[in-house]
Chain A
Amino acid sequence: MKAHRYQHPDRHLEQDMGTPDMNDQGSTDNGYTADFVNPTTLEVDVGRSMPPSQAATLPTLHTEVQALAATGDQDGSTARSLIAEGMHFVGNALLRSPCSVAGRVEGNLTQADGVVVSVVVTETGHVKGDITAQKISVMGRTEGVLDSGQGEVALHDTASVHGLVRYGRIQVNGADLNATLERVAPQKAGV
C-alpha cells in the first residue's frame, strides 16, 4: 500500500503552520499515522476490484456458442454448458466443463472430481441450490451454498446472493448479499 499526500486547496490555515501538535507521533511501522496527523487527501491502495460491469469480458450466450455446445466439443476441453434464458432446469448436474446459467436452475451444480470448472450465473440466471466449483461468478441470483473451496468467488453489482459463501479469494462489487462468508484457508504443503 502507499499513500500520497498533497496540499488540499481548502485546508485550514492552522494546518499549514507545520507545528507539531499533540497528535504528532511521527510515522509508525504501518506508515499511516503521519498521514492522518495533518488531514490531507490520501490515496490508498485497497486491492483489486471489479469494474461495475464486465459484459465484454465474461462469457455471453451467443447462438454460435450454443451451437458449439449442442454439437459437442469432442475433446471436451473448451465445451461450455449452458442453461439458456427461459430454460427451467430441475435436478443436479455434475460439471466437467465450464457452465453458464442464464435460465433457472433448481438443484445443485457440482464440479466433478479431478477437474476444475467455473460457473457463471448471468444477470438473468437464478440458481436455487448449491454451486460447487473452483471459480464462481454471480451476476444474477443464487439461493444456497456457493462453495469454491480455496478458489475464487466474484459477486458483481447486479448479483443477489443468499446463503453461505465459502471462498479462498472473494471479490464483491456492491452485490445484494445476505449470506455467511467462510474463508477456506489455503492447504499447507504436504497436508
Chain B
Amino acid sequence: MELKTPQDTLTLDPIAMNVVNRVAAGTVLDGDLQFDGGLLVQGEVSGQVRVNGRLIVWTGGVVRGRVRVSGDLYLFGQLGAAGGNPHDTSLECQGMAYVSKTGVSTGTLMARRLQLYEGADLQGPFKTLKLGDHLPVLHDVHTEPTGSP
C-alpha cells in the first residue's frame, strides 16, 4: 500500500487572497484584535483575535488565544504555545485548514475541512465544523433585520 505522493506545493497569492494585514517577524501583538482582510503572521499574535479573511501563520509565526477566522487557515508556523494546553488556544476556521509539514498546533483546532500534510505536528483536539455550526448565533445577527416584531 503506497500512500505517498510527490511533494505537494501550495500556491499563495497574497494579492488575490486579499492578505492586506501583516504582523512582521519580531512584532508581538496582544489583546482584542480584529483584522479585516487576510492576515499574515510572521511575528506573534495573541488574545481575542478575529480575522475576516484568510489567516496565514508563516514559519516562525505564533498565534495564541481565541481566534476566529472567516476564511481559510494556512499553518506553516505555530498555533498555541509550545507544550501548551489545548484549552489555552482555540482557533475556529470557517474554511479549510491547511497544516503544512512545518506546522505545529498545540491548541484546539476547529475547521470545516482539514488538510494535514505529512510531517505536520498536530497535538490536541480537532473538530470538523458542520454546516449547522455555521448558522448565525445570537451575537452574530444583530445587524440582520429581525422580520416581524
- Chain A: residues with CB nearer than 8 A to chain B? 1, 8, 10-12, 23, 25, 28, 30, 32-33, 36, 39-51, 54, 57-59, 118, 120, 135, 137, 152, 154, 169-183
- Complex interface: chain B residues within 8 A of A42 (CB): 11-13
Judging by beta carbons under 8 Å apart, are B8 and A46 in contact? yes
User: Which 9 A-B pairs rank lowest in CB-CB distance, beginning with the nearest?
Assistant: A47-B101, A47-B117, A172-B116, A46-B100, A39-B14, A48-B118, A41-B13, A49-B8, A42-B12
Judging by beta carbons under 8 Å apart, are B124 and A44 in contact? no
Quick one: given A36-B58, A59-B1, are A46 and B101 in contact (CB under 8 Å)?
yes
Judging by beta carbons under 8 Å apart, are A170 and B120 in contact? yes
- Complex interface: chain A residues within 8 A of B81 (CB): none
Nearest CB of B to A42, in Å: 5
- Complex interface: chain B residues within 8 A of A30 (CB): 58-60
Judging by beta carbons under 8 Å apart, are A32 and B4 in contact? no
Interface centre among A8, A10, A44, A183 (most CB of B within 10 A): A44
User: Which A residue sits closest to B116, measured CB to CB?
Assistant: A172
- Complex interface: chain A residues within 8 A of B12 (CB): 41-44
- Complex interface: chain A residues within 8 A of B25 (CB): 25, 28, 33
A180 to B110, CA, bound (A): 11
Judging by beta carbons under 8 Å apart, are B123 and A181 in contact? yes
- Chain B: residues with CB nearer than 8 A to chain A? 1-16, 19, 22, 24-25, 40, 42, 58-60, 76, 86, 96, 98, 100-102, 113-128
A183 to B122, CA, bound (A): 7
Quick one: given A11-B15, A42-B12, A170-B116, are A47 and B7 in contact (CB under 8 Å)?
yes
Q: Is the interface of A mostly helix, strand, loop or mixed?
A: strand
Nearest CB of B to A45, in Å: 5
A171 to B1, CA, bound (A): 14
Nearest CB of A to B95, in Å: 12
Nearest CB of A to B18, in Å: 10
Judging by beta carbons under 8 Å apart, are B24 and A25 in contact? yes
- Complex interface: chain A residues within 8 A of B24 (CB): 23, 25, 33
Judging by beta carbons under 8 Å apart, are A181 and B125 in contact? yes
Judging by beta carbons under 8 Å apart, are A177 and B126 in contact? yes
Judging by beta carbons under 8 Å apart, are B117 and A49 in contact? yes
- Complex interface: chain A residues within 8 A of B96 (CB): 174
Nearest CB of B to A40, in Å: 8
Nearest CB of A to B23, in Å: 11
- Complex interface: chain A residues within 8 A of B15 (CB): 8, 10-12, 39
A25 to B24, CA, bound (A): 10
A8 to B11, CA, bound (A): 12
Nearest CB of B to A185, in Å: 10
Q: Which residue from A33, A59, A174 sits with its C-beta under 8 Å from B114?
A: A174
Q: Which residue from A1, A10, A43, A120 sits with its C-beta under 8 Å from B1?
A: A120
Other 5 A-B pairs with CB < 8 A, given A45-B9, A171-B117, A178-B128: A47-B100, A51-B5, A118-B1, A120-B1, A178-B126
